[in-house]
Amino acid sequence: MKQSNQNDVAQQSHLADRVFSLFEGAWEIERQISGKGTYAGTATFVRTGADSMDYAEKGVITLNNGEVLSGERRYTYRLHEDRIELLFADGPNVGNHFVDILFPSDPSAAWPICSGDTHYCLKDTYKAMFCFEHEDEFNITYTVCGPAKDYVSQSVYRRIRPGA
């Protein structure tokens, strides 16, 4: 029985490692924020170690009232044996845990691969869903609710190929 558990961890690790490696590089982002507006920008994942990457995005937010703002966000992605952890990399919560990307234990898992997690921030709840459509596209949906927050943020990430 012990051997089976070790194999399961190795298979999960392989899937987590496979997805983690796919992040590296540049991505185009299209985001819809329900009742608020849209966001268009780019994101880069830069490897900072065997098990960590820095994520940075920059773009333009167009609010439903026509106002245009610049926006940016940063996270640190950390590879663990069976998951990828997202940590805040800017703002007052630098270094704190945000959410995890968990992976199915099925070694033959095929695209799409989806994972959900929840982050509790004081009175607000952020429900995250990551869906990896294929190696060049993934989606992140955050459903946010709380006393002063009620929106869904849906982002589509498409790989930017060098020279494209």
pLDDT tens by residue, 4-13: 444 444 444 4
Higher pLDDT, 83 or 4: 83
Place of tokens 């590296």: 24
Cα 131 from chain centroid (whole Å): 9
Please say whether the beta carbons of 18 and 2 come within 8 A: no
Residue 42 in any domain: the answer is yes
Output the six-digit token pair for 57: 């995005």
Residue 164 in any domain: the answer is no
How far, in Å, CA of 23 to CA of 47, rounded?
9
Residue 23 in any domain: the answer is yes
Residue 103: the pLDDT is 81
**DSSP state, 91?**
G
Residue 81 in any domain: the answer is yes
Residue 145 in any domain: the answer is yes
Domain containing residue 39: CATH number: 2.40.128.20
Residue numbers of the domain that contains 10: 2-159
Residue 31 in any domain: the answer is yes
Number of domains in the chain: 1
Of 60-64, 104-108, 117-121, 126-130, the range with the lowest mean pLDDT is 104-108
Residue 116 in any domain: the answer is yes
Phi and psi of 19, rounded to 5°? Answer: -70, -40
How far, in Å, CA of 143 to CA of 149, rounded?
10
C-alpha distance from residue 35 to each of 63, 71, 91, 138, 150 (Å):
9, 17, 24, 23, 9
Residue 15: the pLDDT is 77
Compute the average pLDDT of residues 98-113. Answer: 79
Output the six-digit token pair for 94: 């630098």
Bridge partners of residue 4, in order along the sequence: none
How far, in Å, CA of 110 to CA of 69, rounded?
38
Residue 42: the pLDDT is 98
Output the six-digit token pair for 51: 């098990």
Residue 164: the pLDDT is 61
Non-local CB neighbours of 114 within 8 Å, separated by 6+ positions: 129, 130, 131, 132
Residue 64 in any domain: the answer is yes
pLDDT tens by residue, 127-139: 999 999 888 999 9
